A and B are shown apart, each in its own frame.
Chain A
Amino acid sequence: MFNIVINGKKVKAQDGTTILDAIQALKIEIPTLCYHKELSPFGACRLCSVEVKTNGKWQIATSCNTPVENDMEIRTDTDAAKASRKAAAELLYYKYPETQAVKEIAQKLGVDVSPEKAEGHDCILCGLCVRTCKEIVGVSALTFQDRGRGRDIDKPEIIFDPNVCIGCGSCAYVCPTGYVKMETDGDRRIIWDKVFKMTACPVCGRYFAPEDQLKYIGKTIGTPLSALTTCVDCR
């Protein structure tokens, strides 16, 4: 157990937890876009920034991916911390004004936003889909295509590998902006433009999962495919 100070208040925090965990335990609200409690933190959106005292100086740090240390001093409510979060939201809103999730957070953080309805579905590179696919699904069909030296990429994006995707749809579920689309229609599911064949339950006849996903589950847990083709409700 560590002793830490948040906004002048002494609190306890468990070893291995982050500043964001400690802040949330205190019910201090800091909106986030790229954070998910089941995934490793990534620090993409920079919306959760707070001030941390380092060598006697206050420094901006993202709370989601900064582990707590004993005697750490944190401030969430100073002008500098607020300005940092607002600036991050301002930039995101500048880039993705049509994306509702961005607009909502920007508004919450005091950015002047347009009264018109936001109807876009931009990829904001939060990486939730990439981490879900890797850490929860265990497949890694999604990766970042970063810009870099000599790589000549104008707009960095998420790259989809159709050869390993199992069509589970977790990425679409976790995407905060609606950029990742999944359409299921009868025996077909389309995700990232790849078409998956759905399996129908022999008992109830419902199309409940893509074949590729069942094969993957069967391989991972060592169960024959025949045992998985019946849907959970009818098993």
Chain B
Amino acid sequence: MNKVAFSSWNGKVVDNRNGKATKGITVNLPAPGGEVAAMMGWSGLVAKDSKADIPSLTFNYLKEARKISCGECSVCMIGIDRLMEIIGRIADGKGSKADLSEMQDIVKQVSENSKCSFGQSALYPVLDAVKYYKADFAALISGEKKLAKRAYGVTVTAPCIDACPAGLDIPGYIELIRNNRFDESLKLIRRDCVLPGVIGRTCTHPCENACVRKDMDESLAIRLLKRAAADADFEQGSRPFGLPVKEKDEKVAIIGAGPAGLAAACQLRLKGYGVTIFESLPHAGGMAAVGIPDYRLPADILTHEIDLIKRMGVEIKLNAKIEKLNVKDLKKDGYSAVFVAVGAHQGNKIGVKGEDAGYEGFVDGVKFLRDMNLGTKIEPAGKVMIVGGGNVALDCARSCVRLGFKKVEIIYRRSLAEMPASDEEIEGAKEEGISIRFLAVPVKIIAKNGKVTGAECIKMKLGKPDESGRRRPVPVKGSEFTVKTDMIIAAIGQRPELPAMDKKITTTNWGTIQADPVTLKTDMDGVFAGGDCVSGPATLIEALNMGNRAADGIDAYLQGTDSAEQVSFEGVDLCKQRGRGFVVSNPAGDVPFLDPKVRSGNFEEVEGGFSATEAIREAQRCLRCYRVVVWEQA
């Protein structure tokens, strides 16, 4: 929406209604699906079509804002009611000019004196409407016009919701925790996240990076709040997932019981479909089961959450590797659609001399973690060198400490600033005595009698940024050196191992399946794909979200309906708001961590959770930055 008749977005007024177009104005606005005549959001009013009915839009906006106004502070809740009553009166031809100035007063007082970010920001566009569309309101007062009945669209988001790959209603579930309603909070979480205990422990929490409090004192501990809701349920014996309201005839086959497969299974089951998951490994859970060590995610948490999904009637066939995907055969077996979610479990090559020689003591990171998680006994060698800087490298290194390796060293080709592993992992590793050698990379594996004894490495320096935006490492000529090591673990990424197909499915250069980003449909009829085998190695929550979307896509495919259109907030600064109340500085609550000395010799869970009281206290820090957008359809 770049060409506008009027805009007050972010408080910057652009008025083209008099015919004189203002040149060079671009406003980043939420982009709802379909054509928009005018829209009102937390940051302003934008009219594209000069025929849009602004008083009616204002009324409809207030109607939606009212649903979000929680009622815990009086000014916001009552202020909105009062504004709606005034517009209603004006629309009935019973208003007066004084009503318009009262509306402006209410907006000003509510914005200044509301308790949360929602009340502090939400009413500014109403002020703009009354101020800049005075004539339209006056026409209602004089009875010349009536409030138009148009079609309106609505969406609600928040900086954290938009940052979450699965779009969880974060302020919503935090609010329920704040009100000591842990069970309802978990119910809300489970709507978009079927593995709350797992995600509450392992998520990379992009929501926390988007939290408005981040730049004030400290982000909300959102991940730990989710965990608190899941833990409370676990301790109280667990509430089951709901059961489908109505059973459907169709069955869906899912290949892979990882987060994507499990999410799709759960959501499809809730819609009434029969679901069978085929899992090649002896355990369900995918990367959550075989990629993440127990000290980060205790096995019983994952098992428990998978059991809840199984209890819904989802069938999981273990040790059932699909070597060749034959859609015709699956259809014969009664499956109407297939969801491929096989993950990315094959380690990438590091491209050094000797890695294909089959040396004892050389292994890729994902295989190492998988073997360990499946119970293979790993004899600790003296020294291990882990190549890579991501979370898999850190998981390998910290596991090696626990397995009893004497010296654990990570070698990473860039510097700390570029390291993709999360800060808490790097910190945890350092505490456990793991050393990280930056700006170096192995070039050759040294072996004796078929067994690794060391690596020839070279020093790197940082050059110009590459396409990832990080500075590209460049070898420093003549800086080769040798490192003695008994084992090398290569953890520099992974790729999917796709089953053979009876027909060709389109794949990318990365060896991943190409699927529609919304419906996750592939170019093979009835076949959908998601998770790491589509996105490449990503996070659990991203995979889980693809499972959710695939369930919607499969449902739409089987029912012959259209998938719902999404509103995009890309390029819109959701943190920005025109009014900001006084915020008392109050840093996030802490949870206990096992002492590095105690935790190094075992796989006990390192991080503790919030108690109920601590969770309620933390939840009270939420600023509730809900953003409502309402638009008149063109």
Contact B113 A92 (CB under 8 A): no
Contact B74 A91 (CB under 8 A): yes
Stretch from B64-72, B343-351, B495-503 that touches the partner: B64-72
CA distance A94 to B82 in the complex (A): 8
Which of the residues A54, A61, A87, A148 comes within 8 Å of B175, measured between beta carbons? A148
Q: Is B553 part of the contact surface with A, judged by Cβ < 8 Å?
A: no
Which residues of chain B come closer than 8 Å to A127, judged between CB atoms?
Answer: 72
**What 0/1 readout, one digit per residue, does chain B (228-266) give for beta carbons within 8 Å of chain A?**
000000000000000000000000000000000000000
B471 → chain A closest CB, angstroms:
36
A235 → chain B closest CB, angstroms:
33
Q: Is B81 part of the contact surface with A, judged by Cβ < 8 Å?
A: yes
Contact B78 A95 (CB under 8 A): yes
**Contacts A49-B113, A152-B67; is A146 near B72 (CB within 8 Å)?**
yes
Which residues of chain A come closer than 8 Å to B78, judged between CB atoms?
Answer: 91-92, 94-95
CA distance A134 to B620 in the complex (A): 15
Which residues of chain B come closer than 8 Å to A147, judged between CB atoms?
Answer: 66-71, 77
Q: Is A88 part of the contact surface with B, judged by Cβ < 8 Å?
A: yes
Q: Is A125 part of the contact surface with B, judged by Cβ < 8 Å?
A: yes
**Contacts A87-B75, A87-B109; is A149 near B584 (CB within 8 Å)?**
no
Q: Is B319 part of the contact surface with A, judged by Cβ < 8 Å?
A: no
Contact A46 B181 (CB under 8 A): no
Contact B584 A66 (CB under 8 A): yes
Q: Is A184 part of the contact surface with B, judged by Cβ < 8 Å?
A: no
**What 0/1 readout, one digit per residue, does chain A (31-50) give for beta carbons within 8 Å of chain B?**
00000000000111110010
Which residues of chain A come closer than 8 Å to B156, judged between CB atoms?
Answer: 149
**What 0/1 readout, one digit per residue, does chain A (46-71) give for beta carbons within 8 Å of chain B?**
10010010100001111001110000
Closest to A155 in B: B71
Which of the residues B74, B79, B81 comes within 8 Å of A44, measured between beta carbons? B74
Which residues of chain B come closer than 8 Å to A94, judged between CB atoms?
Answer: 78, 82
Contact A149 B582 (CB under 8 A): no
Contact A46 B74 (CB under 8 A): yes
Which of the residues B67, B71, B77, B114 comes within 8 Å of A149, measured between beta carbons? B67
B82 → chain A closest CB, angstroms:
6
Q: Kindly name the residue among A45, A140, A144, A156 whose own CB sees the greatest number of chain B CB atoms within 10 A.
A: A144
Contact B68 A148 (CB under 8 A): yes
Contact B172 A124 (CB under 8 A): no
CA distance A62 to B82 in the complex (A): 22
Q: Is A150 part of the contact surface with B, judged by Cβ < 8 Å?
A: yes
Contact A146 B169 (CB under 8 A): no
Q: Is A107 part of the contact surface with B, judged by Cβ < 8 Å?
A: no
Those of A84-134 within 8 Å (CB) of chain B: 84, 87-88, 91-92, 94-95, 124-125, 127, 134
**What 0/1 readout, one digit per residue, does chain A (144-180) give for beta carbons within 8 Å of chain B?**
1111111110001000000000000000000000000
Contact B72 A144 (CB under 8 A): yes
Contact A143 B77 (CB under 8 A): no
Which residues of chain B come closer than 8 Å to A148, judged between CB atoms?
Answer: 67-68, 70, 171-172, 175
**What 0/1 readout, one digit per residue, does chain B (97-134) give for beta carbons within 8 Å of chain A?**
00000000110010011110000000000000000000
Which of the residues A60, A95, A152 comes within 8 Å of B112, measured between beta carbons? A60
Which residues of chain A come closer than 8 Å to B77, judged between CB atoms?
Answer: 125, 147, 156
Which of the residues A54, A95, A149 comes within 8 Å of B626, measured between beta carbons? A149
Q: Is A83 part of the contact surface with B, judged by Cβ < 8 Å?
A: yes
Which residues of chain B come closer than 8 Å to A91, judged between CB atoms?
Answer: 74-75, 78-79, 82, 106, 109
Q: Kindly name the residue among B82, B112, B626 whose own CB sees the greatest number of chain A CB atoms within 10 A.
A: B112
Q: Is B320 part of the contact surface with A, judged by Cβ < 8 Å?
A: no
**What 0/1 readout, one digit per residue, does chain B (9-37) give for beta carbons within 8 Å of chain A?**
00000000000000000000000000000
Which residues of chain B come closer than 8 Å to A145, judged between CB atoms?
Answer: 179
B182 → chain A closest CB, angstroms:
11
CA distance A147 to B78 in the complex (A): 13
Which of the residues A45, A60, A149 comes within 8 Å of B581, measured between beta carbons? A60
Contact A143 B70 (CB under 8 A): no
**Contacts A66-B584, A87-B113, A147-B68; is A124 near B74 (CB within 8 Å)?**
yes
Contact A95 B74 (CB under 8 A): yes
Which residues of chain B come closer than 8 Å to A149, judged between CB atoms?
Answer: 67-68, 156, 169, 171-172, 626
Closest to B109 in A: A87
**What 0/1 readout, one digit per residue, does chain B (156-181) give for beta carbons within 8 Å of chain A?**
10000000000001011001000111
Q: Kindly name the residue among B77, B81, B109 whose own CB sees the greatest number of chain A CB atoms within 10 A.
A: B109
A165 → chain B closest CB, angstroms:
14
Closest to B71 in A: A156
Q: Is B73 part of the contact surface with A, judged by Cβ < 8 Å?
A: yes
Contact B73 A61 (CB under 8 A): no
Closest to B582 in A: A61
Which of the residues A83, A125, A140 comes within 8 Å of B71, measured between beta carbons? A125
Contact A66 B582 (CB under 8 A): yes
CA distance A74 to B265 in the complex (A): 57
**Contacts A87-B105, A156-B71; is A61 near B581 (CB within 8 Å)?**
yes
A116 → chain B closest CB, angstroms:
21
**What 0/1 readout, one digit per residue, does chain B (40-68) give for beta carbons within 8 Å of chain A?**
00000000000000000000000000111
Those of B177-194 within 8 Å (CB) of chain A: 179-181
Contact B584 A67 (CB under 8 A): yes
Closest to A59 in B: B582
Which residues of chain A come closer than 8 Å to B169, judged between CB atoms?
Answer: 149-150
Q: Kindly name the residue among A46, A67, A84 whose own CB sees the greatest number of chain B CB atoms within 10 A.
A: A46
CA distance A54 to B582 in the complex (A): 8
Contact A125 B175 (CB under 8 A): no
CA distance A156 to B77 in the complex (A): 9
Contact B172 A43 (CB under 8 A): no
Which of the residues B72, B81, B106, B581 comes within 8 Å of A95, measured between beta carbons? B81
CA distance A144 to B109 in the complex (A): 24
CA distance A147 to B105 in the complex (A): 24
Which residues of chain A come closer than 8 Å to B106, judged between CB atoms?
Answer: 87, 91
Which residues of chain A come closer than 8 Å to B181, judged between CB atoms?
Answer: 143
Which residues of chain B come closer than 8 Å to A46, judged between CB atoms?
Answer: 73-75, 113-115
Which residues of chain A come closer than 8 Å to B67, judged between CB atoms?
Answer: 147-149, 151-152
Closest to B585 in A: A69
Closest to A144 in B: B179
B589 → chain A closest CB, angstroms:
15
**Contacts A54-B582, A144-B179, A150-B172; is A84 near B74 (CB within 8 Å)?**
no
Contact B79 A125 (CB under 8 A): no
B contact set with A: CB distance below 8 Å:
66-75, 77-79, 81-82, 105-106, 109, 112-115, 156, 169, 171-172, 175, 179-181, 581-582, 584, 626
For the A-B complex with A125-B77, A152-B67, A156-B72 known, give 10 more contacts whose Cβ atoms are closer than 8 Å: A46-B113, A59-B112, A59-B582, A61-B582, A66-B582, A84-B112, A88-B109, A127-B72, A147-B67, A147-B70
28 residue pairs from A and B, CB less than 8 Å apart: A44-B72, A45-B73, A46-B74, A46-B113, A61-B581, A66-B584, A83-B109, A87-B75, A91-B79, A94-B78, A94-B82, A95-B78, A125-B71, A140-B180, A144-B71, A144-B179, A147-B66, A147-B69, A147-B77, A148-B68, A148-B171, A149-B67, A149-B169, A149-B171, A149-B172, A151-B172, A152-B67, A156-B72
Q: Which 4 A-B pairs have the closest CB atoms?
A: A156-B71, A61-B582, A87-B109, A146-B70
